Amino acid sequence: MFMQKIIQIIWENHYNQVDYLLNKYDNLDDNELLDLALKECKKLNIKYFTKPGFMQNIIPSIGCTKCFKQYPCSYCSFHLENEQFSALMRILRKKNVNYYVKVLLANFKEVRGDYKINPYPVELFAVRDFFNKFEFPDQAFEAFLGENGVFKKKPMYGTVFTGGIVKREDVEKLQDAFRKNVSIMMGIEIKSEWIRKYWLNKNVSNKDIEKSIYNIHELGATCGATIILGMPGLTDKQSVQLLMETIKWLDNMPITYIQIGYLVIKPNTVQEYIYNELRDNNFLKEIGVVKGTRTCLIDIIVLYDTIIKIYMINENIYKKIIFSTQNFIDNAIRYRDKQNYGELTKLEKELLNDILKITRLGTKNIKQFIEKYMIIKELPEYLDAMEKFNSQEDIFDLRNTFQTVGEEILDRITCNNKMELTLELYNDITNYKDD
């Protein structure tokens, strides 16, 4: 696949460094690895996130196993965080699973003060994929949530994240560990199977996603989905259309929450590559794929308009929608001109404040937001932004946009297998399906 090969090129230096670290740690024995992992984990100084009745346990696991098996999703740079610790834990996990679990537990004790403690009503376990047995093996499950686990009694509610397929037995096992129920957040990203597989490098089918959602629902657990606003290499218009289709698709299934994350330019991602290498490309600028320093980020006015569009899908949708918390706004402005918040216009600041209010959990004053929208939509700045946004429509269809961006990436990228990459691109494009 073309995008997978591009990611391999983008990540080449990083993976060379990871290979070096893996070799280095592979030469240590189990006890040396354990000592080192405990020390390194302490240095990470992990803080758990808490609010009344809620605790987010941030477990310092191996991280995303997909990152080291098939290369990461094209928009994600998770693997760059703590790469040394991640490599160390990877070797420890391979050589001695009980020692691996010891590190996870030691960190829990360090942060929460002890084992055998009273749980919060809601205990969230933040590992990348809770149901991935390499990242969170059965021994870890037992150590935290088994009969002799870390809590004096079963917590009332549990929340976990997963990026893959959820089996019925996984849900049942998790439900057994909590007194009332569990909530499972699935990383779905987008409705289009082709984009997920060929452009985002996340090969999970819609059939498997739907089956997982129904499995969770039929067993009485709560299911949530995380999706993305903004797609690497697409116009604002296309990204917003895809977001709407994704929300409508999910809204027809038994999903309680739809969490919208905002695509940001992270290191070693395809969107960063486009930002660094193609933002001066006049052709891409012309079709609206890159917009100078705002490459791949949605305009603030368009963001405001999109939120309105989401709430207009139906009268109950706002109960399901969660925007991914505090940094939603920071992300919206972080890569703006000179990354300077002060350069926003008065109107943009005002809109950001409104968006901040509406996207905060529990403060969804939709009526007020819509009243404000009725004023905003008459302003010349709004009309101007929306005119530009609307003019992106029909310039290219999605298939052509992917092909065009792929060709521009090929034109710019340095590698010694360009012919192979070109064939991969055209092969992927031939398989393109609007789904």
> Using the rule CB under 6 A, is 128 a contact of ligand SF4?
yes
Tell me the closest approach of the beta carbon of residue 425 to ligand SF4, in angstroms.
21
- Distances in whole angstroms, Cα of residue 111 to Cα of each of 50, 117, 347: 12, 12, 43
35: tokens are 């000592």
Q: What is the dihedral of CA 308, 293, 404, 272, to 10 degrees?
A: -100
Which of these ranges, 66-74, 249-257, 283-291, 354-362, lies near ligand SF4 under the rule CB under 6 A?
Answer: 66-74
> Using the rule CB under 6 A, is 72 a contact of ligand SF4?
yes
For 288-298, b/e burial (b = at least 16 CB within 10 A) is bbbbeebbbbb
Among 60, 137, 163, 261, binds ligand SF4 (CB under 6 A): 163
- Distances in whole angstroms, Cα of residue 240 to Cα of each of 135, 216, 304, 421: 34, 28, 12, 29
> Using the rule CB under 6 A, is 196 a contact of ligand SF4?
no
CA distance 162 to 188: 9
- Total site size for ligand SF4, rule CB under 6 A: 11
Tell me the closest approach of the beta carbon of residue 128 to ligand SF4, in angstroms.
5
> Using the rule CB under 6 A, is 66 a contact of ligand SF4?
yes
> Using the rule CB under 6 A, is 137 a contact of ligand SF4?
no
Residue nearer to ligand SF4 on the CB measure, 64 or 278:
64
Among 33, 34, 41, 73, binds ligand SF4 (CB under 6 A): 73
- DSSP labels, 334-398: HTSGGG-GGGS-HHHHHHHHHHHHHHSTT---HHHHHHHHHHHTTSHHHHHHHHHHHHTTTTS-H
Q: Say if residues 258 and 248 touch (Cβ distance below 8 Å).
A: no
> Using the rule CB under 6 A, is 90 a contact of ligand SF4?
no
Residue nearer to ligand SF4 on the CB measure, 63 or 158:
63
Residue nearer to ligand SF4 on the CB measure, 162 or 359:
162
Residue nearer to ligand SF4 on the CB measure, 263 or 284:
263
Tell me the closest approach of the beta carbon of residue 200 to ligand SF4, in angstroms.
8
Question: In the block, which residue shows the tokens 């391999």?
Answer: 8
219: tokens are 């067993």
CB atoms within 10 A of CB 84: 15
Which of these ranges, 73-81, 237-245, 354-362, 388-396, lies near ligand SF4 under the rule CB under 6 A?
Answer: 73-81
Which of these ranges, 60-68, 237-245, 335-343, 418-426, lies near ligand SF4 under the rule CB under 6 A?
Answer: 60-68
CA distance 339 to 211: 42
CA distance 168 to 131: 11
Among 21, 34, 64, 265, binds ligand SF4 (CB under 6 A): 64
Residue nearer to ligand SF4 on the CB measure, 204 or 300:
204
> Using the rule CB under 6 A, is 62 a contact of ligand SF4?
no
CA 143 vs. chain centroid, Å, equals: 27
Give the interface with ligand SF4 as residue ranges (CB under 6 A).
Answer: 64, 66-67, 72-73, 76, 78, 128, 163, 187, 202
